[in-house]
Copies of this chain bind each other. A is one copy, B any other.
Amino acid sequence: MNNKDIKNIPENVISRLPKYYRYLQSIIAHKEKITSSELSKYVGVSSSLLRHDLHYFGRFGNKGTGYDVKLLYNEICNTLKLNKTYNAVIIGAGSLGSAICRYYSTRNYSIEIKKIFDINPKIIGVKINNIEIQDIDFLQEYLDENPIDIGIICIPEKVSYNICSILTQSGVKALWNFSSSDVNSSDNCVIKNENLIDSLLTLTYRINNE
């Protein structure tokens, strides 16, 4: 599949690909084929939705024999551009920053956490899974010397604006923002605002309407 085709995959299909990717990664070493009903069961989508999503990737199997696990995995990997490593820094070593650091530094998902920055002198130099907490005052210097793809923002909203500016102006390609203040879109940086409140508030809606 070439780049033009990838751009034509709808956003809601893209949003489900990581589920397929994670499951295929977990079975690739010991399974050659998987049927759509097996895969759909494990990833928690209907068989018809799964088949609809995977038709964007061409033919990977015949009815009855199932999908070729390796081919399908490689196509999804290529679409999500996970066949290279992305360098990331976490800003904020509080509970959430530490949780994200622990999570990613023990998993093999093309994301490498290089440093975690904080303002609290008591924790500077401490390591979380071998990743050192560094003084936020050295962030600009660090970014000048090290190409970073993704900034993960785990600090309060009152300080996040300045930090996001430093990151975007230093060539960081994406911000994954957990501060409670949304970062507005930027021309040269992809922004994902992950406001945990919003997620919980749509859950209260669904409790009453499903």
Contact = CB atoms under 8 A, between A and B. Distances in A.
A6 B187 CA distance: 36
A110 B197 CA distance: 11
Given A44-B193, A100-B196, A185-B44, A15 B207 contact: no
A204 B22 contact: no
A207 B96 contact: no
Contacts of A184: 44
A28 interface: no
A204 B80 contact: yes
A102 interface: yes
A190 B176 contact: no
Contacts of A174: 203-204, 206-207
A182 B109 contact: no
B81 A182 contact: no
B200 A176 contact: yes
A7 to B, nearest CB: 6
A86 B205 contact: no
Given A19-B195, A44-B182, A174-B204, 17 more contacts: A3-B209, A14-B205, A19-B198, A22-B195, A22-B197, A79-B205, A81-B208, A86-B207, A103-B197, A104-B200, A111-B200, A149-B207, A150-B200, A174-B207, A176-B203, A190-B210, A192-B203
A204 B98 contact: no
Contacts of A193: 44
B198 A18 contact: yes
